[in-house]
Structure 1
Amino acid sequence: MGSKWRKAKLALGLNTCLYVPQTAEESSSPSPNRVVASRHSDAVSSSSLLSPTGVVSERRPTTPTPSSSGLKTGTKSSKRTCAICLTTMKPGHGHAIFTAECSHSFHFHCITSNVKHGNQICPVCRAKWKEVPFQNPASDLSRGIPRINPVNWPQDDAWMTVLRQIPPPRVDVSRPITSLFHTPESAIFDDDESLDNHPDISMNKASVEDQTSNNNCIGIIEVKTYPEVPAVKRSSSHDNFSVLIHLKAPLTSARQNGSRIPVSQNSRASVDLVTILDVSGSMAGTKLALLKRAMGFVVQNLGPSDRLSVIAFSSTARRLFPLRRMTDTGRRQALQAVNSLVSNGGTNIAEALRKGTKVLVDRNSKNAVCSIILLSDGQDTYTVSSPGGIHPRTDYQSLLPISIRRNNAAGLHIPVHTFGFGADHDAALMHSISEVSGGTFSFIEAENVIQDAFAQCIGGLLSVVVQELNVTIECVHQSLQLGSIKAGSYKTSMMTDARMGSIDVGDLYAEEERDFLVTMNIPVDESSNVMSLVKVRCLYRDPITKEMVNLNEAGEVTIKRPEVVGQLLVSMEVDRQRNRLHAAETMAEARVAAEDGDLAGAVSLLESCRRVLSETPSAQAGDRLCVALSAELKEMQERMGNRRAYEETGRAYVLSGLSSHSWQRATARGDSTDSTSLLQSYQTPSMVDMVTRSQTILLGNPSPRRTLSSVKSFPAKARPH
């Protein structure tokens, strides 16, 4: 009888997209009617499923109930009323119905709204639930199609598949995380897992040697130069003449071979990654569930030679485990640790950063690449007394340990990529931390973007092909001197005679591009028909071979010096980059005005910049970067429309834009789920691949990609006044 009942349930499930949990009979239990389900995370399960036709079908509770002798049917619910909205519940009328383990039923959208802040009490009988419904924030509510996040569907989520396969955590997950924070901890974090004598790593090293011998190792940087105009009249001078230096990092060895291999295979530099996660009280409920899911994705996409350590913080900070290789065992232990997190307490970002830095500073062995990811949804309540302000580097200098500040005497380069989650985080603090360390700041406005934002970040970190890149610009003509080097946040230097300058670029991801503008004054020159301006040289380290690569003749810029010059067109490449720099400078000025309380002045600056951009040659030619910059400036104007809008989202949106433009690196921006992006200027192919993988896992099957924005605008939202 039990097997027949199981077959019937399966048949019904196939036709109506019902989730059929494992029965007790299949678990060697004598009872054929009892439904058995496991809850492995407080990323709580849902009660509905999106069918192929876009209709949400009803799903029964997965926990055993004392009053049930089998699966409930939906017929009784048709005559009931929802205790929350007091309207009739009718299956098949576009509303999913949730039946709790206490047997009370509600509209699914009503109960998810009721419990989204962590409430696990039945509104009718006050019984405490072990499982509560949770609506996936990837819902496309604008089209009326909710998508549900089902924790107990292994086929829909690789992160939860792993959790179903691993044994229960060794730690006592019933114990609050704060109690774990007060257990004794080592004074020195030199217990990182060794990188030596590991079969997977040895095999990977051998494969790298084979690739090198076959000339399939990572290639060299591509360097292109563009003068502002191709010719200057002999008898004339030209002040502030611009030369564009364009760099493009090489492909990974996998892409060079014409194939795409998983990032977990060591065809690239291995990574030491420390994630610092906010588990304060404000992270309770949906936020913590989504954070666990995002961390699960990170764990699953690190390779066996990559190492991960997790720091959890609230009122204090705790290292959950040391730097550990992400082998099968390492992944299992990492997932157990992440899954054990619960939220409460305050927000002590300073202590968390000190502890995360200590993990990397104290380690015995080092992978080629190292980085810190910091996520928080609140403001530091222990170190910073007055959040915000127009001078964040000064206000927040004490938060970042000296050892990882950019250009520190110790020579360490540990960028901190920060993620401000929601409307209540301290965007100025998070931006300052990233800026001082050489990382990026991402603003996660929509909760469903957190996993994609992490995916974009690690897509870059797992594809580093250039390290310690230094670009040198040297004047060739004896009468020439450099005027300026415009390189955003990258450190620049110039000799006292202005004959030579340099840019400290650092790491580049595979196929990542950089554009730098150099200005100079072109003197009168009656002696020749061609004038050599500058030479460009590049010096960098290959992270796989560890060898230094010296490109002595990377590029030389020349212009013609005829007696007569006709009408010349300005280089589109140079004009495009001028527009980008002008827009970034205007954003910074508007931010200062907004912090001073002059929102009208800030909006006026942005509008003026848009007008100027529209009159440039590249904009009039329909250049996509110019179109995207104009749209981004317009979005900032709207987010500065009033003080409340600016405080809630405007400041963070502007700062994430400044971070992106100053480093020329992709960041997550605001509600980054719009699929009509005009341009992803700074996203690399590796980032795109990883974000696509994230979205495929999240939704269970391939779908049109939601884009993470680097330089773009989003549809205007209704703003509070």
Structure 2
Amino acid sequence: MSSKWRKAKLALGLNLCVYVPPHPINSDHALLSPVTSPAILTSPSPRFSTSFFTRSPKKTCSICLAALKHGDGCAIFTAECSHSFHFHCIASNVKHGNQMCPVCRANWKEVPWQSSAVELPPGRARINPFEWSHDNNSVAIVRQLSPRPNSTRHLFQSPEPAVFDDDEALDNKTENAENNSTNTSPLPEDIESCKTETVMVQTYPEVPAVPQFSAYDNFTVLIHLKAPTSFSGYSCEPNQSKLPQHSQSPRTPIDLVTVLDISGSMTGTKLALLKRAMGFVIQNLGCNDRLAVIAFSSTARRLFPLRRMSETGRQKALQAVNSLVATGGTNIAEGLRKGAKVMEDRREKNPVASIILLSDGQDTYTVFGSSNNQNIANYDLLLPTSIHGKQSSSFKVPVHAFGFGTDHDASSMHSISETTGGTFSFIEAESVIQDAFAQCIGGLLSVVVKELVVTIESVDSGIKFGSIKSGSYPNCVMPDQNTAYVEVGDLYADEERDFLVSVNVPEEFLNKETSLLKVKSVYIDPLTKRTVTLDSEELKIKRPEVAGEEMVSIEVDRQRNRLQAAEAMAEARMAAEQGDLAGAVSILEAFREMLSQTASAKSHDHLCVGLDAELQVMQERMASKHVYEASGRAYMLSGLSSHSWQRATARGDSTDRSSLVHAYQTQSMAEMLSRSHASLSVSTSANMFLQPMPR
């Protein structure tokens, strides 16, 4: 019997592994491997189907990383180059114009095809219609019906519009009708009536009392801000019933553009893990969030317009991401230009907008090519003027950059994020890419404060401000030195910000206390669109005739240590870039010694303990030039980004996901990370990139 099967295969000249399940064929769920020429399906006998499948050189699908197992509800396609994939995975690739093997990059003459004429229920991958006939030997002969002309390359062959004003409208009515569900998400008038929390403002003097007849020129005051927690209510979120109570609340919808590197170096596991991470992002965007994806290599392409993540939107987004194939060079500037164009040309705008950039290589088209000195990198050339944070334009979109692997240009990625107001994360271990994305979107999906500006005013004209230490946040002291500003921007739920203000303390002859300053905060509530203005109480210090031994405020000391640590990191990096690794290590070591003597460190403050451990890792990553260039630079820049913006970033070389947890992580970020961990702990389903998660 086996010889007949072998002869039949050889007679048709096929090198395919295909399988027909032992249960009756269902046209919607048939397990088969469609090809463009007639194919022989194996006998229902398990004896023969098993022997055929053992010839497959791979046991997992290189696109979705799920197991290739017969009888689990998914068709298997084995290409002429002998590599095997789930049919719905590879058919989506072909549908979007890719006709080469994602593994060996061989060009295929015969490709799988998905008919657009067959519509299956939402969440089901479509397969080709077939005509069946059987001979007397029970061998099923499959003949694929003719596809429509030019149906396989429509995405990458169709020209892009000159203006990206085809973004999907921000309209809830369409979504409600499409999902045929009762959406009790608050309407705008309902949100207006909700009682929201406000930003909390606190001030801490360096010491609570100063001698009455003494004057100080550099007295430090801490300005502490904490964003409100999102209030209780209903949220139009996927998997809402599984979310913690903290997340079940109205939130600000987002316009998100992901700019993804699909250059040749992303081939294989990197691209597969990127697709899985993007699948997680897509599944966790709400129905009012909008997403566009830009893929870049030697050039850049918008995969689909800015689209709401409804059931249909998720389905199309997942299929488009699943179609990506790695090839070509690395043109970061072109990817960012197209991502900025999506943001700039959109007809309607969600309250929050952000760009996520991921690359594993160095820009080979822009950074050095247009510079006067070919050896000097000009990272400003990577950014289009429309999202350049230094421009005096109201259109500013933060770019959160992710350096993937050890070969990316950490300096350029950090420069892009720093200029636009975003963060830079270092993903050294491929396996943590989804966690890094999860932490980022956990914050982006919890914005509760927009365009926050903090004004610091002296109570008396004799009180003068010196400097303001605010990290990367722009600040300004007015010429009269009685007023100062800090532009904070957006805050995620529960985020905290700390700034140090230097102020003079004059002598006091009459009063037992001195009023120094007061703080005013002005911001926009993104849910209600209202402008909120808050005035703090005046900060006063006691003025005894003789001051006792006053303890330095732990809150002030902690933030002083953080800012000085960031300065030490920056100084050490400059030394390392000049080749003086020993000097860089000495700088960090000297600061660690000084840190250990501070009041907050002696009290085992959690931030100071974390700073010391982080500085030690940086020293280890300067052991040699090779180690520094491979990981030390990126690790240090990610740390600088985190401390200067006081926002969580991902960094580290371990698959231990606790490396992502540190002082700036909010509850929303932690919850999204937990969801990522849960999804990764479960075996990847064969159709995770084509079927949205249950809602």
Same fold (TM > 0.5)? yes
**Letter of the structure 2 residue corresponding to residue 433 of structure 1:** I
Q: Please say if residues 472 and 538 of structure 1, whose CA atoms lie closer than 8 Å, have aligned partners that are also in contact.
A: yes
* CA distance in structure 1 between the partners assigned to 2:291 and 2:583 by the alignment: 46
Question: Which residue, out of 189, 195, 198, partners 1:209?
Answer: 189
Cα separation, partners in 2 of 1:639 and 1:172, compared to 1, 3 Å = farther
Instruction: Tell me if 1:235 matches 2:213.
Output: yes
Alignment of 1:664-675 (within 5 A): 664-671=646-653, 673-674=655-656
Per the alignment, residue 376 of structure 1 pairs with: 359
- Structure 1, residues 165-186: CA drift from partner, whole Å, max 9, x if none? 233699999979xx95564111
**Letter of the structure 2 residue corresponding to residue 639 of structure 1:** R
**Letter of the structure 2 residue corresponding to residue 210 of structure 1:** D
Instruction: Tell me if 1:594 matches 2:576.
Output: yes
* CA distance in structure 2 between the partners assigned to 1:471 and 1:555 by the alignment: 14
**Letter of the structure 1 residue corresponding to residue 681 of structure 2:** L
Question: Which residue, out of 425, 444, 464, partners 1:442?
Answer: 425
Q: Please say if residues 378 and 424 of structure 1, whose CA atoms lie closer than 8 Å, have aligned partners that are also in contact.
A: yes
Question: Which residue, out of 227, 233, 241, partners 1:249?
Answer: 227
* CA distance in structure 1 between the partners assigned to 2:502 and 2:589 by the alignment: 27
Deviation, 1:68, is 9.4
Per the alignment, residue 648 of structure 1 pairs with: 630
* CA distance in structure 2 between the partners assigned to 1:453 and 1:402 by the alignment: 28
Per the alignment, residue 545 of structure 2 pairs with: 563
* CA distance in structure 1 between the partners assigned to 2:370 and 2:512 by the alignment: 59
Structure showing greater relative contact order (alpha-carbon pairs closer than 8 Å, 6 or more residues apart): 2
Deviation, 1:672, is 5.2
Question: Which residue, out of 381, 402, 405, partners 2:388?
Answer: 405
Deviation, 1:408, is 2.4
Deviation, 1:514, is 0.5
Per the alignment, residue 88 of structure 1 pairs with: none
Deviation, 1:409, is 2.2
Alignment of 1:170-181 (within 5 A): 181=156
Q: Please say if residues 231 and 249 of structure 2, whose CA atoms lie closer than 8 Å, have aligned partners that are also in contact.
A: no
Per the alignment, residue 341 of structure 1 pairs with: 324
**Letter of the structure 2 residue corresponding to residue 23 of structure 1:** P
Per the alignment, residue 167 of structure 2 pairs with: 192
Deviation, 1:525, is 1.6
Is the deviation greater in 192-201 or in 346-355? 192-201
- Structure 1, residues 336-357: CA drift from partner, whole Å, max 9, x if none? 1111111111111101111000
Instruction: Tell me if 1:101 matches 2:53.
Output: yes
Q: TM-score, normalised by structure 1?
A: 0.74
Alignment of 1:684-703 (within 5 A): 684-700=666-682
**Letter of the structure 1 residue corresponding to residue 189 of structure 2:** E
Instruction: Tell me if 1:659 matches 2:641.
Output: yes
Cα separation, partners in 2 of 1:528 and 1:255, compared to 1, 3 Å = farther
Deviation, 1:624, is 1.1
Per the alignment, residue 256 of structure 2 pairs with: 273
* CA distance in structure 2 between the partners assigned to 1:561 and 1:359 by the alignment: 58
Cα separation, partners in 2 of 1:678 and 1:363, compared to 1, 3 Å = closer
* CA distance in structure 2 between the partners assigned to 1:514 and 1:524 by the alignment: 31
Cα separation, partners in 2 of 1:314 and 1:323, compared to 1, 3 Å = same
Q: Please say if residues 444 and 668 of structure 1, whose CA atoms lie closer than 8 Å, have aligned partners that are also in contact.
A: yes
Deviation, 1:65, is 8.6
Cα separation, partners in 2 of 1:700 and 1:676, compared to 1, 3 Å = closer
* CA distance in structure 1 between the partners assigned to 2:655 and 2:232 by the alignment: 29
Question: Which residue, out of 388, 399, 420, partners 2:403?
Answer: 420
Per the alignment, residue 514 of structure 2 pairs with: 531
Alignment of 1:220-231 (within 5 A): 220-231=198-209
Q: Please say if residues 625 and 679 of structure 1, whose CA atoms lie closer than 8 Å, have aligned partners that are also in contact.
A: no
* CA distance in structure 1 between the partners assigned to 2:632 and 2:527 by the alignment: 41
Deviation, 1:403, is 1.2
* CA distance in structure 1 between the partners assigned to 2:357 and 2:290 by the alignment: 16
Deviation, 1:131, is 3.9
* CA distance in structure 1 between the partners assigned to 2:481 and 2:326 by the alignment: 55
Could you say what secondary structure the match of 2:126 adopts?
A: coil
Q: Please say if residues 264 and 304 of structure 1, whose CA atoms lie closer than 8 Å, have aligned partners that are also in contact.
A: no
Is the deviation greater in 280-289 or in 406-415? 406-415
Cα separation, partners in 2 of 1:543 and 1:261, compared to 1, 3 Å = farther
Deviation, 1:212, is 3.6
Where structure 1 has 5 or more consecutive residues not aligned to the other structure, the ranges are: 1-20, 40-62, 75-98, 117-125, 133-161, 703-721
Deviation, 1:697, is 0.8
Cα separation, partners in 2 of 1:604 and 1:255, compared to 1, 3 Å = farther
Per the alignment, residue 8 of structure 1 pairs with: none
Instruction: Tell me if 1:639 matches 2:647.
Output: no
- Structure 1, residues 107-152: CA drift from partner, whole Å, max 9, x if none? x89x99xx99xxxxxxxxx9712149xxxxxxxxxxxxxxxxxxxx
* CA distance in structure 2 between the partners assigned to 1:219 and 1:428 by the alignment: 39
**Letter of the structure 1 residue corresponding to residue 643 of structure 2:** H
- How many residue pairs get aligned? The number is 582
**Letter of the structure 2 residue corresponding to residue 522 of structure 1:** V
**Letter of the structure 2 residue corresponding to residue 103 of structure 1:** R
* CA distance in structure 2 between the partners assigned to 1:172 and 1:644 by the alignment: 53
Q: Please say if residues 227 and 242 of structure 1, whose CA atoms lie closer than 8 Å, have aligned partners that are also in contact.
A: yes
Could you say what secondary structure the match of 2:293 adopts?
A: strand
Per the alignment, residue 126 of structure 2 pairs with: 167
* CA distance in structure 2 between the partners assigned to 1:171 and 1:662 by the alignment: 56
Q: Please say if residues 558 and 600 of structure 2, whose CA atoms lie closer than 8 Å, have aligned partners that are also in contact.
A: yes
* CA distance in structure 2 between the partners assigned to 1:424 and 1:387 by the alignment: 22
Deviation, 1:443, is 0.5
Question: Which residue, out of 572, 575, 580, partners 2:562?
Answer: 580
**Letter of the structure 1 residue corresponding to residue 327 of structure 2:** N
Where structure 2 has 5 or more consecutive residues not aligned to the other structure, the ranges are: 1-18, 67-79, 87-120, 129-146, 178-182, 236-240, 685-695
Q: Please say if residues 467 and 540 of structure 1, whose CA atoms lie closer than 8 Å, have aligned partners that are also in contact.
A: yes
**Letter of the structure 2 residue corresponding to residue 573 of structure 1:** E
Q: Please say if residues 624 and 678 of structure 1, whose CA atoms lie closer than 8 Å, have aligned partners that are also in contact.
A: no
* CA distance in structure 1 between the partners assigned to 2:645 and 2:532 by the alignment: 23
Deviation, 1:287, is 0.6
Question: Which residue, out of 522, 532, 543, partners 2:526?
Answer: 543
Instruction: Tell me if 1:23 matches 2:21.
Output: yes
Per the alignment, residue 475 of structure 2 pairs with: 492
Question: Which residue, out of 467, 471, 476, partners 2:459?
Answer: 476
Q: Please say if residues 387 and 429 of structure 1, whose CA atoms lie closer than 8 Å, have aligned partners that are also in contact.
A: no
Deviation, 1:235, is 1.2
Deviation, 1:285, is 0.5
- Structure 1, residues 434-467: CA drift from partner, whole Å, max 9, x if none? 1111101110001111111111111111100000
Q: Percent identity?
A: 56
Could you say what secondary structure the match of 1:165 adopts?
A: coil
Deviation, 1:696, is 0.3
* CA distance in structure 2 between the partners assigned to 1:635 and 1:560 by the alignment: 42
Deviation, 1:494, is 1.1
**Letter of the structure 2 residue corresponding to residue 232 of structure 1:** V
Per the alignment, residue 312 of structure 1 pairs with: 295
* CA distance in structure 2 between the partners assigned to 1:352 and 1:212 by the alignment: 39
* CA distance in structure 1 between the partners assigned to 2:552 and 2:247 by the alignment: 45
Cα separation, partners in 2 of 1:407 and 1:376, compared to 1, 3 Å = same
Q: Please say if residues 628 and 678 of structure 1, whose CA atoms lie closer than 8 Å, have aligned partners that are also in contact.
A: no
**Letter of the structure 2 residue corresponding to residue 219 of structure 1:** E
* CA distance in structure 2 between the partners assigned to 1:246 and 1:233 by the alignment: 25
Per the alignment, residue 506 of structure 1 pairs with: 489
Per the alignment, residue 431 of structure 1 pairs with: 414
Q: Please say if residues 596 and 602 of structure 2, whose CA atoms lie closer than 8 Å, have aligned partners that are also in contact.
A: yes
Cα separation, partners in 2 of 1:105 and 1:545, compared to 1, 3 Å = closer
Cα separation, partners in 2 of 1:270 and 1:675, compared to 1, 3 Å = closer
Per the alignment, residue 603 of structure 2 pairs with: 621
Cα separation, partners in 2 of 1:186 and 1:575, compared to 1, 3 Å = same
Deviation, 1:66, is 5.9
Q: Please provide the CA RMSD for this pair.
A: 3.7
Per the alignment, residue 442 of structure 2 pairs with: 459
Q: Please say if residues 181 and 316 of structure 1, whose CA atoms lie closer than 8 Å, have aligned partners that are also in contact.
A: no
* CA distance in structure 1 between the partners assigned to 2:470 and 2:148 by the alignment: 48
Cα separation, partners in 2 of 1:173 and 1:26, compared to 1, 3 Å = farther
Deviation, 1:384, is 1.7
Cα separation, partners in 2 of 1:385 and 1:263, compared to 1, 3 Å = farther
Could you say what secondary structure the match of 1:526 adopts?
A: coil
Cα separation, partners in 2 of 1:204 and 1:538, compared to 1, 3 Å = farther
* CA distance in structure 2 between the partners assigned to 1:104 and 1:686 by the alignment: 43
Deviation, 1:67, is 9.6
